[in-house]
Chains A and B, each alone.
Chain A
Amino acid sequence: MAAVTPHRRWFLSDHPAPWLLPLVAILVVFAIYPLIYNVWLSFHEYASFRRRVEYVGWANWIQLFNDPRMWSSLTVTFIYFFAALALQLVLGMALALLLDADEPGFGLLRGLLTLTLVIPPAVTGMMFLLMEDPQFGVLSWLLNAVGLLTPATPILATPSLALAGVLLADVWQWTPFMVLIFLAGLRGLPPEPYEAAMLDGASWWTVFTRITLPMMAKVIAVAVLIRGIDLFRVFDYIFVMTSGGPGEATYTLSLYAWQQTFSFIKWGYGATLSLLMLVIVLVMANLFIWLAKVRW
């Protein structure tokens, strides 16, 4: 080891710096710098007459709280968030309990369920757009046939139904995410508590709420955290299915921030809205991590 060049000595040492350097470099250039740029942008605005970006002080941040569209998109985002999370949790747990058995063919069923997870959400949105078409959509036709929907109702153009129409695509695509995680959790549970409960003659419901749920707490917490982070940023389904309409019925924060920047050329206000999202997600996620004691 006589002729070790300086850059090789780095890799021969036991110091973590050279190993972490590429990661830190990418995160600084592509995460920290854009974040700083975004904060700078939120104190500026594009003046379309003079064709330049000008300093506007706190104007964007003040506008944020006096903007009825911001409040309505925040409301829609939270309704979407909680409705989708609740549906996916309950459906996911029900399906996981159903599939948690060594029956023949269940391995295949678990495999089939994973397929929804790898479809581009934009394509999923298109799939449901076709199925929910009022004229020739198979889902509209089915809902008409069972009498749940009057014929030719445009689901995605009816204010009271549009959000449910978009939610359906999300629930379809991501319930299997919950199923797979819960199944892995259920399969890993120890059998002893169940044997003891059987001897005591406990009912199915008691076993589920007193044994299964508490033992699954960590698994459920992780699933809620990861799904929650992704639900709050929902964009793809909305963008391809409704573009936020009808009116503001499906207008979410992500879409609002994106449109302010790229459709209305309000660069500074769009940046401010996206920072608002960032703050809400960081606060909610870290609060949840702390409360649920999730650890990596």
Chain B
Amino acid sequence: MRWSRSTSVLRQIAAWLAVGVFFFPIFFWVTTAFKPAYEIFNQPPSVWTFDVTLRNFEEVFGISLGFLRQQEVLPGGGNFYMAPRLLDSLIVGLFSTALAVAVATLAAYALSRMAFRGRHHFVNWVLSTRMMPPVAVAIPMFFIFRDTGLMDTHLGLILVHALMNLPLAVLLMKSFFDDIPAEIDESALIDGASRWLIFRRIVLPMAKGGIAATAVLCFIFSWTEFLFALTLTQTSLKTVPVVSSTFVTSTGTAWGNMAALGAVAMVPAFIFILLVQRHLVRGLTLGSLKQ
């Protein structure tokens, strides 16, 4: 449709305003990380102008940037030191992603290329595991982990996060493999190549972009997951979403520290998601819609 010049200007204004409303909470949260306590508790709230400090980052990540005096008593008795928690989140995210993508890629290739009885039902079964409420998995998993020693270990959470991401990874990789013409495989089969060789040498290299997009989404879902991490970890590891609520103490909430951790935790996810914009919609819809 053609739009006249004035409608175009109106449309520009409306679009920027609407997206601005959506962007504001992120802006406000990130700036909160740079505010000293008296600015956070200010009335009316300081939004555009405020004193800047890096104290919150120093306390949360145990680094020295000159805003914190030596021997000063840290808020929360030093319990706000969160660098190890970022590492926990990273370990769980990376390994669960690697596991989910590896298993899903193998299965998706078979689902995309090999005809077998009940394939349609198998795909539906994988999809239906996506419907399971996390709480219905977390409750029995808590007891199983308690009895097998997987409780409160990185391995336990890695396995559960991989499980959680498998339906997405399988369906998404299947849709990427479906995009690659099956004739390529068939002509290679006629030439005597094995399925495994075709998969490794021909199909996998062609699906590189799809694998990257799948991996990014799996990592983000593990990075942001809350219920399993809350239920299946106790003291030896904690992920970023879970520790976010520990800044609420009996003497008040350490908003600045919490925002500093939250802001840093958002950065890798922001970068990753912008890298896979092209496949984002396909990923969000489990491979059923293509951009």
Residues of A at the B interface (CB closer than 8 Å) are 11-16, 19-20, 22-23, 26-27, 30-31, 33-35, 37-38, 41, 95, 98-99, 101, 103, 105-106, 109-124, 126-128, 130-131, 135-138, 141, 172, 175-177, 180-181, 183-185, 187-188, 194, 198, 219, 222-223, 226, 229, 232-233, 235-236, 239-240, 254, 257-258, 261-262, 267, 270-271, 274-275, 277-278, 281-282, 285-286, 294-296
Contact = CB atoms under 8 A, between A and B. Distances in A.
Contact of B166 (A26, A95, A141, A258): A26
Interface in B127-184: 127-144, 159-160, 162-163, 166, 170-171
Interface residues of B, number: 102
Contacts, number: 274
B8 interface: yes
B45 A137 contact: yes
Given A30-B163, A226-B284, A229-B130, A95 B110 contact: no
A13 B195 contact: yes
Contact of B133 (A26, A137, A277, A295): A277
Given A239-B245, A270-B139, 15 more contacts: A11-B195, A12-B195, A19-B109, A30-B141, A30-B163, A119-B224, A126-B258, A128-B25, A130-B29, A135-B41, A136-B43, A226-B284, A240-B245, A258-B227, A285-B128
A99 B44 CA distance: 33
Contacts of A120: 223-226, 240-241, 244, 262, 265
B15 interface: yes
B259 to A, nearest CB: 8
Contacts of B291: 184, 187-188
B79 interface: no
B86 interface: no
Instruction: Please indicate which of the listed interface residues B26, B171, B281, B288 has the most CB atoms of chain A within 10 Å of its own CB.
Output: B281
A111 B274 contact: yes
B42 interface: yes
A94 B283 CA distance: 22
A138 B29 CA distance: 11
A27 B26 contact: no
Interface stretch (B52-60, B61-69, B99-107, B206-214): B99-107
Interface of B: 1, 3, 8, 11-12, 14-16, 18-19, 22-23, 25-26, 28-29, 32, 40-45, 47, 102-104, 106-107, 109-111, 114, 116, 122-124, 126-144, 159-160, 162-163, 166, 170-171, 194-196, 220, 223-227, 230-231, 240-242, 244-245, 247, 255, 258-259, 262, 265-266, 269-270, 272-274, 277, 280-281, 284-291
